Amino acid sequence: MVVFGITGGIGTGKTTVGGVLIELGVKVIDTDCIAREVVKPGEKALEEVYKTFGAKYFNSDGTLNRTALAGLVFKDENARKMLESILHPEIRKRWLACVQQWENDGVKFAAVIVPLLFETEAQNQFNAVICVACLEETRIKRLIAKGWDKSQIEARTKAQLPLSEKMNRSDFVIWNEFDLDITRLQLIRVLGTMST
């Protein structure tokens, strides 16, 4: 089985690329989805977050107030590192189990979307890494259209490696600046390269 790691900056279109790969028959898992699962009520990671950060980052129903916690961790690097030390090992355990299951099932191609792939040193888990990239202005436009403000965009961007470095360290770059057909053609070429 060929397993791709998909990374890129916020707003570059990693989820879009994941959707195209699914259409092309690739099994895809997004670690952002797993990150939401591991902080659901009853999960051990949620209890750790509560113990570490306290009740003020929780809603009255016991669920995590993601916006409040994001407001803290993207201003305070130590808080971010503490949160990552709670969540990242559990997230990795779950996507590795998923990949193992696909391998057992005889899947040919799989991909894991890991925004912080290089930051968490996950690159060795993959046959190849794909970085999704676009122009800076396109990225910002996309995020503003999703309701982000400039300070949120800046804080999240600072918490990641520069996009240029992610591109340099990846095996393939998908330039996600044009329409989906162009993105699809790039991905078909990557899959063709890896199936030989």
Segment 46-74, tens digit of pLDDT:
999 999 999 999 999 999 999 999 999 98
CA 174 to CA 14: how far, in whole Å? 10
CA 153 to CA 135: how far, in whole Å? 15
Reported as a pLDDT band with limits 50, 70 and 90, residue 196 is low
CA 74 to CA 77: how far, in whole Å? 7
Please indicate, yes or no, whether the overall pTM of this predicted structure exceeds 0.85.
yes
In this structure, what DSSP letter does residue 11 have? Answer: T
CA 180 to CA 16: how far, in whole Å? 8
The CA distances from residue 28 to 88, 171, 184, in Å, are 19, 18, 15
Structure tokens belonging to residue 103 = 């391998």
If residue 133 lies in a helix (H) or strand (E), which one and from where to where?
A: strand 128-133
User: Sign (positive/negative) of CA torsion 107, 108, 112, 118?
Assistant: positive
Indicate whether 40 pLDDT > 80: yes
Segment 92-125, tens digit of pLDDT:
999 999 999 999 999 999 999 999 999 999 999 9
**CATH code reported for the domain at 2-38+87-194:** 3.40.50.300
Look at strands 109-113 and 128-133 and give their pairing.
unpaired
In this structure, what DSSP letter does residue 58 have? Answer: B
How high is the pLDDT of residue 158?
87
